[in-house]
C-alpha cells in the first residue's frame, strides 16, 4: 500500500485533531465527512453514499473505520489503520427502513467501552443526517454529545509542503483543462461538447500524473445563464455573441485548484468590456494585500473599496479556503473571504478568490487560487486573467 503522505504527516494531523478535541472536551470524535476521513487516514473511495465513519478516541493511538462490508477491503487497502480496527456492518443495514448503520455503530462503541463519554459528531457536515444523529443518541443514551463540526477542517487549513505540491499538480491540470475547454468554445459546438473536452482533460491529467474527479462538476453557464452560477451544461449550441463562464478545478490526490474565466464568443458586450477591468483591478488589489497577519475580512474590504470606485457592490462572499475534498464541494467551510471574517492569514493557507459579479441577465467570473507565503501570496495557476475573446481567427479553428 502506498499512502499519499508519510505516516509522520498522518500522525501530525491526528495529533492536531486530538489537541482540538481536548480543547473542546471531546473524548471520542465520530468523523463522517469523507474529506476528514481521508485527511486523517488516507481512506479514499466512492462509498460515502452509505453511512460510514472514522472514530478517533483521544486516549487510543489507532482510529477505527466502520463501514459497509464490501467497502472494508478498501479501508484496509487505502489507510494506515490496522486491519483489526476496520469493522464492517452487514449489507442488510444499507438503505433499509428496519436497520440503521448508526445502531450498529452505537453498539460497537458501547462494546468497546466508549459509549458513555463526551462524543463529538460533525453536526453540519454532508452525509451526517438528522436520522444518523437521532439513532446515535438513542443508541448511546449515556453519552454526552458535542458539536464537532469543522474541528478537523480547522486542522486542514494550513497545508504541508506535500499538500502544496499536490495542489501544484492540480493547478497544472486546471490550466490544461481550461486551455482545451476554451479552445473548444465556438458557434455550433454544444455546451456538452465543451464540458466533455474539459472533463476529458481533468481526468486524463498530464503524461506525468493523472487527474481525479473534481468535487464540483465543471460549470459552464452560457448566455443569460451567466447570471446563474450553478446551472450545469445543456446540449444547446453556442452562438456568436454568447458569453460563457467556465468554472472548473483540477484535482490530484483529492486536492483541488479551482479556476474560473469568462469567455466571449466574438465581440463582448459593452457591459462585459466595462466589467472585466473592474474585476481584474479588484483581484489584483486583493492579491497585493494578501499576506500573513491580514484577515479575510480585511481582504473583503480591499475588494469592496476597489469596486466601489466604479459604482459596484457585491452580495456574496469573494472566496473561501480550499484544498482536499469530495463532492459536493471543494471549499473547506472554514474561512470565507467576506465582511467580518476574522481568520488571520498564515503561510500555506490556500484560498479560491472568486469575486464574481452577477446581474439579472448576465455575470462575470474570473478567479485565482492562491497560497499565502511568508511575505505575500502566490497564485497556483498561470493562465491569462483577462476576459477571453474568441475572435474570428480562433473560431475558424486556428487557435492562437
Of residues 3 and 389, the one with the C-beta less far from its own copies: 3
Q: What is the closest distance, in whole angstroms, from the C-beta atom of residue 291 to its own copies in the complex?
A: 24
Is residue 256 within 8 Å of residue 243, measured between CB atoms?
no
Residues from 204 through 243 that contact its own copies (CB under 8 A)? 204-205, 209-213, 216-217, 219, 225, 227-235
Of 305, 313, 323, 324, nearest in space to 371 by CA: 323
Spatial separation of the C-alpha atoms in residues 309 and 292, rounded to whole Å? 27
Asked if 351 is part of the footprint of its own copies (rule: CB under 8 A), the reply reads no
Asked if 70 is part of the footprint of its own copies (rule: CB under 8 A), the reply reads yes
Q: What is the closest distance, in whole angstroms, from the C-beta atom of residue 142 to its own copies in the complex?
A: 19
Is residue 242 within 8 Å of residue 224, measured between CB atoms?
no
How is the beta sheet containing 331-337 ordered, strand by strand? 331-337, 319-322, 350-353, 368-372, 377-379
Residues 6 or more apart whose CB falls under 8 angstroms from that of 364 comprise 226, 243, 245, 262, 272, 275, 276, 279, 356, 357, 387
Q: What is the closest distance, in whole angstroms, from the C-beta atom of residue 139 to its own copies in the complex?
A: 14
What binding mask, one character per residue, do residues 300-319 give for its own copies by CB under 8 A, x or -? Answer: ---------------xxx--
Residue 158 — φ and ψ, nearest 5°?
Answer: -95, 120
Residues from 265 through 284 that contact its own copies (CB under 8 A)? none
Asked if 188 is part of the footprint of its own copies (rule: CB under 8 A), the reply reads no
Asked if 355 is part of the footprint of its own copies (rule: CB under 8 A), the reply reads no
| Stretch touching its own copies by CB under 8 A, among 87-95, 261-269, 276-284, 370-378 | 87-95
Asked if 175 is part of the footprint of its own copies (rule: CB under 8 A), the reply reads no
Residues 6 or more apart whose CB falls under 8 angstroms from that of 369 comprise 167, 171, 174, 257, 258, 259, 322, 350, 351, 352, 353, 379, 380, 381
Q: Binder to its own copies among 6, 15, 49, 241 (CB under 8 A)?
A: 49
Give the other-Cβ count within 10 Å of 204's Cβ: 14
Spatial separation of the C-alpha atoms in residues 73 and 51, rounded to whole Å? 16
Of residues 14 and 352, the one with the C-beta less far from its own copies: 352
Q: Binder to its own copies among 6, 7, 19, 147 (CB under 8 A)?
A: 147
Per DSSP, 126 falls in state T
Of residues 114 and 362, the one with the C-beta less far from its own copies: 362
Q: Binder to its own copies among 223, 292, 327, 376 (CB under 8 A)?
A: 327
| Stretch touching its own copies by CB under 8 A, among 107-115, 121-129, 294-302, 370-378 | 121-129
Q: Binder to its own copies among 20, 100, 146, 156 (CB under 8 A)?
A: 100
Residues in the chain, overall count = 400
Of residues 77 and 399, the one with the C-beta less far from its own copies: 77
Amino acid at each position: 500500500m502506498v499512502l499519499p503522505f508519510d505516516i509522520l504527516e498522518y500522525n501530525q494531523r491526528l495529533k492536531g485533531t486530538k489537541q482540538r478535541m481536548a480543547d473542546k472536551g471531546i473524548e471520542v470524535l465520530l468523523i463522517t465527512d469523507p474529506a476528514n476521513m481521508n485527511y486523517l487516514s488516507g481512506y479514499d473511495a466512492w462509498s460515502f453514499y452509505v453511512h460510514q465513519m472514522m472514530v478517533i478516541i483521544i486516549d487510543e493511538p489507532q482510529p477505527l473505520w466502520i463501514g459497509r462490508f464490501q467497502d472494508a477491503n478498501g479501508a484496509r487497502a487505502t489507510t494506515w489503520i490496522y486491519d483489526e480496527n476496520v469493522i464492517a456492518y452487514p449489507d442488510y443495514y444499507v438503505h433499509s427502513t428496519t436497520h440503521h448503520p448508526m445502531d450498529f455503530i452505537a453498539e460497537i462503541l458501547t462494546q468497546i467501552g466508549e459509549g458513555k463519554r463526551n462524543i463529538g459528531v460533525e453536526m453540519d457536515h454532508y452525509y451526517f443526517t438528522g436520522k444518523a444523529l437521532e439513532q446515535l443518541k438513542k443508541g448511546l443514551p449515556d453519552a454526552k454529545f458535542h458539536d464537532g463540526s469543522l474541528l478537523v477542517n480547522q486542522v486542514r487549513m494550513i497545508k504541508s509542503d506535500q499538500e502544496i505540491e499536490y495542489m501544484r499538480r492540480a493547478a497544472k491540470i486546471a490550466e490544461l483543462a481550461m486551455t482545451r475547454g476554451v479552445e473548444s468554445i465556438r458557434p455550433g459546438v454544444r455546451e456538452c461538447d465543451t464540458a466533455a473536452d474539459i472533463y476529458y482533460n481533468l481526468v486524463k491529467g498530464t503524461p506525468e500524473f493523472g487527474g481525479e474527479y473534481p468535487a464540483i462538476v465543471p460549470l459552464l453557464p452560457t448566455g443569460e445563464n451567466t447570471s446563474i452560477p450553478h446551472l450545469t451544461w445543456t446540449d444547446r449550441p453556442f452562438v456568436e455573441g454568447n458569453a460563457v463562464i467556465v468554472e472548473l478545478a483540477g484535482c490530484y490526490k483529492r486536492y483541488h485548484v479551482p479556476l474560473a474565466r469568462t469567455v466571449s464568443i466574438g465581440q463582448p458586450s459593452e457591459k462585459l468590456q466595462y466589467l472585466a477591468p473592474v474585476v481584474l483591478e479588484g483581484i489584483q488589489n486583493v492579491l497585493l494585500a494578501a499576506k500573513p497577519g491580514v484577515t479575510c475580512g480585511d481582504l473583503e474590504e480591499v475588494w469592496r473599496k476597489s469596486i466601489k470606485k466604479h459604482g459596484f457592490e457585491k452580495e456574496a462572499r469573494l472566496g473561501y479556503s480550499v484544498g482536499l475534498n469530495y463532492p459536493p464541494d471543494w471549499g473547506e467551510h472554514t474561512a470565507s473571504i467576506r465582511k467580518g471574517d476574522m481568520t488571520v492569514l498564515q503561510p500555506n493557507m490556500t484560498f479560491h478568490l472568486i469575486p464574481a459579479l452577477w446581474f439579472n441577465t448576465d455575470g462575470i467570473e474570473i478567479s485565482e487560487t492562491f497560497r499565502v507565503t511568508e511575505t505575500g501570496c502566490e497564485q497556483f495557476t498561470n493562465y491569462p486573467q483577462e476576459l477571453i475573446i474568441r475572435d474570428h481567427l480562433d473560431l475558424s479553428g486556428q487557435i492562437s
